[in-house]
Amino acid sequence: MVATIEKMAVIPVAGYDSMLLNQAGAHEPFFTRNIVVMHDSEGVEGVGEVPGGEVITKRLESCIPLVEGASIAQWKNVVLSCRKMLENQMRGASGSGGQETAHAQIFKKVTNVLTGVETPMLDILGKHLEVPVAALLGEGQVRDSVRFLGYLFYIGDYRKTDMPYLHDDDTSDEWGRVRREPALTPDAIVHEAEAAQKRFGFHDFKLKGGVFAGSEEMEAVRALKARFPDARITIDPNGCWTLRESLELCRDMVGTLTYVEDPCGAEGRFSGREVMAEFHRLTGLPTATNMIDTDWREMKAAIRLDSVTIPLADPHFWTMEGSVRVAQLCHDLDLTWGVHSNNHFDISLAMVAQAAAAAPGVINACDTHYIWQDGQHLGRVAPHFEDGCLQVPRDGAGLGIDLDHDKLAAAHRLYVDNGCGTRDDARGMRFYIPGWSYDASLPAMVRP
C-alpha cells in the first residue's frame, strides 16, 4: 500500500537579519519565509521552505486540496496539477504598477509555490526509500560534498534607525560580532571575509554591489583579491550599471574578477539579455545571472545570445527538479551551473545542497545567505560547514532535516508578533536618505 499525504500545513515564519545593504535598499530586522510541513498516512514527515510573503502563503494554502489524499508516488502529477491551478488563478491578473525590484518580480512566479509542494513530498519519498533527495533528482546523486561561497554585504549602521535589529547576540568569534556591525569600506569588507572564512572555511567570495558608486565597489573587489589571491571573486550590482559603465569598470578586471553577476540590464529597446551579451563579448569575462534567465523561455534566449555562462538556478525559483534540469543543460552545453540565494533557514540550505549534489558537471560554489542567519536553524541539528562545504551523505534519507517543532513555533510567533509580511528594503534606507525610493538604474547610496 503506497502512503498518501494526510496533512499539509503552511507556516509563515520570521528570523532575525542584519542591516544588509543592496541595490533595493536595506534588509529589515526580520526576514520571512514560508515553511511547508506534510505528514503521510504512515506518520512520515516532510518539510520544505520557500520565500515569505502573504501572496505565497495564500497560494500554497490553495494547493492543499490537491495535495491531501494524494499518493506520495504521484508527486510529479500533484505538482503538475498545482501548476495548472495556479496558472489559471494568475491568468489575467494585473500588475501592481510602478518600479519593482528584480526579486519582487521573480517572487510572483508560480514556481515558488510549486517548490513548496514538491520538496516535502520528495523529503517523504526519500525517507521511505532511505535515499537522499539528491538520488531522486536528475540522473541521481553525483557528489557527496557541495562547495559554498562567502556572500559578503555592505552593512548599514542599525544605530541610525529606530528599527529592532539584532545585535550582541553572538560573541563566540569574530564573525558573530562583525555580521551585526557597520561595514561600509573596502577594509571592512575584507575583514568581514576573513571572519567568515575563519568560521566556515570559504575559498570563494561574492560581494553584493549596487550600493555605492561602481568605482568604489571595485576598490573593495581589488582589496579582496589582494587578501585572497586564489579565491574566485565576483560582484553583483543587480544590473544597475549601464553597459558603458560596466565596460569601464570591468574591462581591466580580468584576473581579479573571476566572473560578474548581472553587471547591467535592459537599456532602451534592448533587453537585459542583449545588453549582457554585449558585455560578455566586449570584456571576455564570464557572466552569471538570476535576473535575465529566470524561466525556460528566457533561458533559451540567453543561451542563443551567449548572454550568460553561469545560470544561477535557485531551486526555490525553478523547483528542485527544474534546477537540476538546468544543471544538466549546462553540462551538455559547456556552461557552469550555480545557485542564487536569499535570506533563509537551514531547510532551504539543505534544499540547495541536495540539488547541487545532483547537478552534473562543473558547478560554481553555491550562494547562501545562511551565514547571516547561522544559529537560527529550525532543525534539531545545526548545519556544519567544513572547508566551505556541506556534506550530502549517500546513506541519508530525504532532505536530512529533523524538524524541531518548538523552534518552528517560535519562528511563527516572531512573524506574528512583529506583523511581518513581504520585506520592504526601502524603509531602512530612509534613515540614511530621507524620501529614498527604489530606482532600478541607481545604486542604493547614489542619488542625484
Does residue 97 surpass a pLDDT of 60? no
pLDDT digits (tens, 9 = 90+) for 334-356: 999 999 999 999 999 999 999 99
| Structure confidence at residue 105 as a pLDDT band (50, 70, 90) | low
**So what's the pLDDT on residue 423?**
80
In what helix (H) or strand (E) does residue 116 lie, and over which residues does it extend? helix 111-129
Q: Is 340 an annotated catalytic residue?
A: yes
Is 441 a domain residue?
Answer: no
| Mean pLDDT, range 367-395, rounded to an integer | 98
For the chain, what percent of residues have pLDDT higher than 70?
96
Residues 372 and 237 in one domain: yes
Write down the residue that cell numbers 542625484 correspond to.
Answer: 448
Residues 217 and 320 in one domain: yes
Catalytic residue among 103, 206, 340, 344: 340
Domain of 23: which CATH number? Answer: 3.30.390.10
Does residue 95 surpass a pLDDT of 80? no
Is 96 a domain residue?
Answer: no
| Mean pLDDT, range 56-72, rounded to an integer | 97
Is 146 a domain residue?
Answer: yes
Please enumerate in sequence order all residues whose Cβ is within 8 A of that of 255, keeping only pairs 6 or more positions apart, or say none.
none
CB 9 within 8 A of CB 36: yes
Is 396 a domain residue?
Answer: no
Q: Quick one: 73 exposed, middle or buried, by C-beta within 10 A (0-12, 13-18, 19+)?
A: middle
Residues 128 and 155 in one domain: no
Residues 228 and 119 in one domain: no
Comparing C-alpha atoms, which of 427, 434, 440, 437 is closest to residue 28? 427
CB 326 within 8 A of CB 273: no
Residues 216 and 348 in one domain: yes
* Three-class DSSP category at 366: strand
CB 78 within 8 A of CB 38: no
Q: Sign of torsion, CA 311 32 160 155?
A: negative
| Mean pLDDT, range 65-94, rounded to an integer | 91
Does residue 430 surpass a pLDDT of 90? yes
Q: What is the pTM of this model?
A: 0.96
**So what's the pLDDT on residue 150?**
98
Residues 150 and 128 in one domain: no
Is 431 a domain residue?
Answer: no
How many CB atoms lie under 10 A from the CB of residue 160?
12
Is 350 a domain residue?
Answer: yes
**So what's the pLDDT on residue 89?**
85
Paired sense of beta strands 145-147 and 389-391, if any: antiparallel
Does residue 376 surpass a pLDDT of 70? yes
| All three cell numbers of 137 | 533528482
| Number of compact structural domains in the chain | 2
Residues 223 and 282 in one domain: yes
Residues 173 and 294 in one domain: yes
Is 408 a domain residue?
Answer: yes
CA dist 137 and 140 (Å) reads 5
CB 13 within 8 A of CB 415: yes
Residues 122 and 180 in one domain: no
Domain of 282: which CATH number? Answer: 3.20.20.120
Determine which of 81-85, 101-105, 163-167 has the lowest per-residue pLDDT on average.
101-105
Residues 53 and 198 in one domain: no
Fill in the amino acid letter for 324: V
Q: In what order do the strands lie in the sheet with 287-289?
A: 260-261, 287-289, 310-311
CB 9 within 8 A of CB 412: no
Q: Is 300 an annotated catalytic residue?
A: no
Determine which of 99-103, 165-169, 291-295 has the lowest per-residue pLDDT on average.
99-103
| Mean pLDDT, range 369-388, rounded to an integer | 98
Q: Which DSSP string do the residues of 291-323 spell out, in sequence order?
A: SS-SSHHHHHHHHHHT--SEEB--HHHH-HHHH
CA dist 146 and 167 (Å) reads 30
- Could you tell me the residue range of the domain that residue 276 belongs to? 139-391
Write down the residue that cell numbers 545562511 correspond to.
Answer: 370
Comparing C-alpha atoms, which of 59, 63, 15 is closest to residue 38? 63
pLDDT digits (tens, 9 = 90+) for 115-143: 999 999 999 999 999 999 999 999 999 99
Is 159 a domain residue?
Answer: yes
Does residue 98 surpass a pLDDT of 90? no
Q: Sign of torsion, CA 330 335 336 341?
A: negative
Residues 65 and 173 in one domain: no
Catalytic residue among 39, 127, 206, 208: 208
**So what's the pLDDT on residue 329?**
97
Q: Sign of torsion, CA 100 52 147 328?
A: negative
Residues 124 and 164 in one domain: no
Mean pLDDT of the chain: 95
pLDDT digits (tens, 9 = 90+) for 173-204: 999 999 999 999 999 999 999 999 999 999 99
| Mean pLDDT, range 253-278, rounded to an integer | 97
CB 366 within 8 A of CB 356: yes
